[in-house]
């Protein structure tokens, strides 16, 4: 996973979250083993750490962040990881309201 230590403004993709990204992967893998959810949403994805873990477990993942630069880096991280994630530049609060209205 790439991160720009000079330009990036927060640490969501840095070392402080690596254990949590792994835990999300394990949780998603357990869901799939129990024939649970197939679709996951990563709101506020930043550089995609959680989205990548969920996708590696086999979930179909939608990931949102309002920062175009963060989404660009997340897309590159997905490419480096060999997974497919539907990354979108979108305000997560607006998207969540829309998903709720659509019954998702």
pLDDT of residue 15: 63
- In the three-class reduction of DSSP (H, G, I as helix; E, B as strand; rest coil), residue 20 is classed as helix
13 contacts 48 by C-beta, under 8 angstroms: yes
pLDDT digits (tens, 9 = 90+) for 30-53: 877 666 668 899 999 988 989 999
pLDDT of residue 14: 60
pLDDT digits (tens, 9 = 90+) for 52-104: 999 988 899 999 999 999 899 999 999 999 999 999 999 999 999 999 999 98
CA distance 103 to 32: 22
CA 67 vs. chain centroid, Å, equals: 13
Q: pTM of this prediction?
A: 0.80
Higher pLDDT, 7 or 74: 74
Tokens describing residue 11: 């640490």
pLDDT of residue 52: 93
74 exposure class (CB count in 10 Å sphere: 0-12, 13-18, 19+): buried
Residue 29 has pLDDT above 60, yes or no: yes
């Amino acid at each position: 996973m790439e991160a720009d230590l000079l330009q990036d403004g927060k640490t969501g993709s840095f070392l402080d979250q690596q254990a949590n990204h792994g835990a999300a992967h394990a949780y998603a893998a357990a869901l799939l083993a129990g024939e649970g959810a197939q679709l996951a949403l990563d709101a506020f994805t930043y550089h995609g750490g959680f989205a990548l873990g969920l996708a590696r477990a086999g979930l179909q993942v939608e990931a949102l962040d309002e920062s175009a630069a963060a989404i660009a880096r997340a897309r590159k991280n997905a490419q480096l990881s060999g997974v497919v994630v539907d990354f979108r530049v979108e305000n997560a609060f607006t998207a969540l309201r829309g998903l709720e209205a659509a019954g998702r």
